[in-house]
Homo-oligomer: A and B are copies of this chain.
Amino acid sequence: MKKRMNIGLIGHKFMGKAHSHAYRDVAMFFDSGVVPVMKVLCGVGDDLASTAERYGWARFEESWEKVVSDPDIDIIDICTPDNYHKEIAIAAAKHGKHVLCEKPLALTLQEAREMQAAVERAGVVNMVNFTYRGVPAIRLAKNLIDEGRLGSLYHFNAFYQQDFSLSEDFPFVWRMDKEAAGAGTMADKGAHVIDLARYLAGEFHEVACRAATFIKERTDPGTGAKRSVTTNDAAVFLSTFQSGAIGLFEVSNMSAGRKNALVLEISGSRGALRFDLERMNELSVYFADDPEEVQGFRTLLVTQPSHPYISHWWPTGHVLGWENTFVHQIHEFLLAISEGRKASPDFFEGVKCQEVVDAIARADAERRWIAVAKG
């Protein structure tokens, strides 16, 4: 008999929708030993009731405090704006709930460490949702690297490029206000590429960075007045890794033509690979020990039964979408609960990521190389 566990999801916007969908789907495709029950959707706004119904939640609730303290709830899933993460996660942990939190874990390293301490003290299963670890092609990349197919890593390049705010007519939004959004896209997109770098290439050593705000004033849609943009909309940074590899990073909301291009280019002494989220079902791999005559990047369609997660879905060649990565991550979370062990990536991983985000922000502010704290 599978265990049923009740979910309280805080946040009903973009991430709330993605998580809701994943809870609907996960038990159909994966068996973690835990069946998630969509109990309560928590949010603020006139559309909360209708959204909860449409997404399949049994009820809705405006007070997150009530949800985290509700004895009926087993799991708290945090999809709020970043500045609520800490308070909710710590309260949830105190009430003994398992906690899944969207990335980035917190606005600052200090906050992230407090959150980590709280969940560890409470002994609850905790996870920060770096959802791209759930892309089958990225997990395959991880396997290939771990098997030594790329040899010692030399280069780790990652680019997370979108162009949503390219137009000068794009309005001022809360992410452009330093008070509300912290370190800007450097932290927001940065957290994704840094987590993937840590996942695939190991710990950072030093970083140098330059952030930019290409459009310095935008129109506030509320007031119609111009407002100063106080966060960055792009950043480039270099890194060294503890392994000796060197890294090259760009994050940008101003990269014309890129809609959701999270590109990884990783190479080492025996091979290389390339990934682009816009073609997330593919992985390009190169093996230096192939005979010279037939050496070349192989374009793998990562939909074979032997590829990560694929056997749960459809036959060979039937591609997955972005939303499926959430199903994978939530499955991993439920599986950890079911097996009574740590989830991965947990809050500790979130803290490690935040350490690097912190370092690049300092590197930019102080215009010098900054050493990342050793773990």
Residues from 224 to 256 in A contacting B, C-beta threshold 8 Å:
234, 236-238, 240, 244, 246-248, 250, 252, 254-256
Q: How far is the CA of A319 from the CA of B132 in the complex (A)?
A: 13
Q: Which of A56, A150, A209, A297 has the most CB of B within 10 A?
A: A297
Cβ of A117 within 8 Å of any chain B Cβ, yes or no, is no
Q: Which residues of B contact A367 (CB under 8 A)?
A: 369
Which of B236, B288, B303 contacts A163 (CB under 8 A)?
B288
- B55→A317 contact, CB < 8 A: no
Tally of contact residues, A, Cβ under 8 A:
98
Residues of the B chain whose Cβ atoms lie less than 8 Å from the Cβ of A313: 323
With beta carbons under 8 angstroms apart, the residue of B154, B281, B314, B320 that contacts A18 is B314
Tell which of A140, A269, A307 has the most Cβ of chain B within 10 Å. Answer: A269
Q: Closest Cβ of chain B: how far from A308's Cβ, in Å?
A: 10
> Do B27 and A288 touch across chains, with their CB atoms under 8 A apart?
no
Q: Which residues of B contact A27 (CB under 8 A)?
A: 54
A144, B291: Cα distance in complex, Å: 13
CB <8 Å contact, A300 and B294: yes
Distance in Å from the Cβ of A236 to the closest Cβ of chain B? 5
What are the residues of chain B within 8 A of A150 when measuring CB–CB? 256
Binds B, one of A41-49, A191-199, A272-280, A338-346: A272-280
Q: How far is the CA of A66 from the CA of B86 in the complex (A)?
A: 55
Q: Is the CB of B323 within 8 A of A322?
A: no
Assess whether A335 is interfacial by the CB under 8 Å rule: no
Contacting pair B279 A307 (CB below 8 A): no
Contact with B along A14-29 (1 / 0, CB 8 A): 1001101100110110
Per the 8 Å Cβ criterion, residues 51-88 of A in contact with B are 54-56
Is the C-beta of A336 less than 8 angstroms from some C-beta in chain B? Answer: no
**Does A324 sit at the interface, judged by CB under 8 A?**
yes
Contact call B246/A267, Cβ cutoff below 8 A? no
Say yes or no: A272 contacts B257, CB within 8 Å: yes
Q: Give A20 to B290 CA distance when docked, in angstroms.
A: 35
For A369, give the chain B residue with the smallest CB separation.
Answer: B367
Are B299 and A297 closer than 8 Å at their CB atoms?
yes
| Residues of B close to A306: CB separation below 8 A | 292-293
Of B14, B56, B212, B369, the contact of A28 (CB 8 Å cutoff): B56
Q: In the complex the two chains form, is A288's CB within 8 Å of B167's CB?
A: yes
The digit string for A330-363, where 1 denotes a CB below 8 A from any CB of B, is 0000000000000000000000000000000000
| Nearest opposing residue in chain B for A316, CB measure | B259
A185 within 8 A of B: no
Give, as a whole number of angstroms, the nearest-CB distance from A304 to chain B: 5
Give residues in A with beta carbon < 8 Å to B: 14, 17-18, 20-21, 24-25, 27-28, 54-56, 140, 144, 150, 152, 154-155, 157, 159, 162-164, 166-168, 208-210, 212, 214, 234, 236-238, 240, 244, 246-248, 250, 252, 254-261, 267-272, 277-282, 284-288, 290, 292-301, 303-307, 313-324, 367-369
Task: Given A261-B317, A279-B282, output 19 extra A-B contacts at Cβ < 8 Å.
Answer: A14-B314, A28-B54, A140-B293, A154-B254, A166-B269, A254-B267, A255-B272, A256-B267, A256-B288, A257-B288, A257-B296, A258-B267, A259-B316, A278-B281, A279-B279, A284-B296, A293-B306, A296-B298, A318-B321
